[in-house]
Amino acid sequence: MPLKIVGTGLGRTGTMSLKRALEMLGFGPCHHMMEVFQHPESVPLWIEAAKGRPSWDAIFKDYASAVDYPSCKFWRELTAYYSDAYVLHSVRDPNRWFDSTQATIFSETSPALNAPPPMNEFFAAILGDFGDRIHDRDFMIAYFKRHTEEVERTIPKKRLLVYEAGQGWEPLCSFLGVSVPSEPFPLVNTREEFIARRAAQTKNA
């Protein structure tokens, strides 16, 4: 199925909550980095995409939307390929974003920085823009801000929603043209939940 929503926001901008929210609104399944871990057979396809040989229909054949890494790395390609898709750009305070990444997805013990083959090639491809400066606050915050500026400059305003998860259902539902659910907006994968889950995985490894 063609993607109906392309998420361009970087990881740790409420993307897991957005994944759940979009699925509740009927735009699921929604692709997220967790899908890569659950479907390692997709890793070679992502590596090929990073080499300029994407098979987007194969990667997203079972998904109606996509947020988080690795999709946000390919936001230019995906928003062009799925030209009718809504574009959802998730943001948050840049300093809080940096602090969150350093405690979670870019921590010293993160699989993203310590993966065996072929995942090391996968992560090198999607995180290559950071080089050896992934722990450099000023560099990373500048990257974060520049990324948002490039999305806003590239995507037509009528197609784009810049969104913070704390805004709740209303702006998201209005943008997508759907009714507001009666259930609360999901809040999942907080920093504390992420760290606790990682600790449990390490303990059981």
For residue range 51-99, list pLDDT tens digits in order.
999 999 999 999 999 999 999 999 999 999 999 999 999 999 999 999 9
For the chain, first and last CA: distance in Å? 36
Task: Average the pLDDT over each of 17-31, 32-46, 107-121 and give the range with the smallest value.
Answer: 107-121
Cβ-Cβ contacts under 8 Å for 112 (sequence gap 6 or more): 105, 106, 123, 127
| Total number of residues shown for the chain | 205
Whether 7 contacts 68, CB under 8 Å:
yes
Give the helix, strand, coil percentages of the chain, each rounded to 5: 55, 10, 35
Cβ-Cβ contacts under 8 Å for 19 (sequence gap 6 or more): 30, 32, 65, 67, 68
Where do the structural domains in the chain lie, given as residue ranges?
A: 5-204
What pLDDT is attached to residue 184? Answer: 95
What pLDDT is attached to residue 192? Answer: 56
CA distances from 85 to 92, 132, 142, 191 (A): 23, 34, 28, 30
pLDDT tens-digit map of 160-195: 999 998 899 999 999 999 999 999 999 885 555 555
Please give the class, per CATH, of domain 5-204: alpha beta
